[in-house]
Amino acid sequence: MNITVYGSGRWASFLAWYASSAGHSALLCGRGGSASYESLKETRRNAFLKLPDSVSFTSDPLEAWEFSDIALVAIGAQQLRSFCETLKDAVPALSRAAEAGEGAGKTFVLCMKGLEENTGLRLTQVLNETLCGAVDAAVWVGPGHPQDFVGGVPNCMLIDSVSSALTRRLADALASPLIRFYYGEDLIGAEVGAAAKNVVGIAAGMLDGLDVGALKGVLMARGAREVSRLVGALGGSELTVYGICHLGDYQATLFSPYGHNRAFGECIVKELPYPYLAEGAATAFSLLRLSEQTGVELPICQAVARVIRREMPPRDILSGLFSRSTKAEFY
């Protein structure tokens, strides 16, 4: 298959590497002039991997669109709306399909985890809203870091979409000995669960930074329950949160030295700068918006947001989180 990867960061570069390694034709489409794209194009490597010669490059969205059977999108979650608008302007066929409310015969798989900060929308909702349903939308979520995958360490991940037929077709097409894909059956739960695990990851990093990492066990138990109640209120299945999209991703997010969100949480309580994108920071505020809409209490998300806003010393905020009034465990 012809697979286009939109993006040039560490996950996008891995996806191009993975698609090529799995026997597909891979084209990486980056933003011309961006440092990460130009460096990757020139050297075919970054800090995580070396791209094989079979991976092609372009900064032309139209070329990338025409090439793809499947498009994997791996950009910052907060950039998705503007990316869609730019793509629509650059691709006449997409613009016409969006205006007519018709399918354009393309499949977009969103490979980042987050919610739109200003609206609380899931990323497939943003995609459908901006492109008016012109493309088939799916998500690719679950545990794994490029450093592990390129080292040959396998893992399991999840594909989900609004169509079980599309989900199965994508999962079967993208699977390899390195990644086993499960079929998702709850798009709401998959998206919210995958986004929210980054917020729990920030909280885990804060605990590490305060030398109270022993509390991670409680954090994991309470985090999964907190998010499951929200997913249920949004119309998804609470059980989805206990699968690969959320709880199954805790090791990679709360413990791995490669996790950006955990590292961000540790740095913020130590008052150190953190130079990389931590999607959970924006997601914390998105989740609080959903909390207001649904009436579901999200104390972990609220605590993370308060630390990010520097409302009080982090130790005081997190101590308050773990000393809340006693309730039944699974309240």
Average pLDDT over residues 210-219: 95
H or E stretch including 63? Answer: helix 61-67
Which residues does 206 contact at the CB level (< 8 Å), separation at least 6? Answer: 265, 266, 268, 269, 304, 307, 314, 318
Which one from 106, 197, 216, 270 is the annotated catalytic residue? Answer: 197
pLDDT in tens, 216-250: 999 999 999 999 999 999 999 999 999 999 999 99
2-185, CATH topology level: Rossmann fold (3.40.50)
CATH number of 188-322: 1.10.1040.10
| Greatest Cα pair distance in the chain | 59
Higher pLDDT, 300 or 329: 300
> What pLDDT is attached to residue 321?
85
CA distance 308 to 217: 22
Q: Distance between the two ends of the chain, CA-based, in angstroms?
A: 47
Sheet of 179-183: strand order equals: 56-58, 25-29, 2-6, 70-73, 107-110, 136-141, 155-161, 179-183
pLDDT in tens, 135-171: 999 999 999 999 999 999 999 999 999 999 999 999 9
Find out whether 300 and 308 touch, Cβ atoms under 8 Å: no
Reported as a pLDDT band with limits 50, 70 and 90, residue 326 is low
Q: Domain locations in the chain?
A: 2-185, 188-322
Average pLDDT over residues 115-133: 96
Burial letters for 25-64: b for 16+ Cβ neighbours within 10 Å, e otherwise?
bbbbbbbeeeebbbebbeeeebebbebeeebbbbbebebb
Same fold, 2-185 and 188-322: no
Chain centroid to Cα 145, Å, comes to: 12
Task: Let me know if 197 is a catalytic residue.
Answer: yes
Is the model's pLDDT at 331 over the cut of 80?
no
> What pLDDT is attached to residue 235?
98
Find out whether 289 and 296 touch, Cβ atoms under 8 Å: no
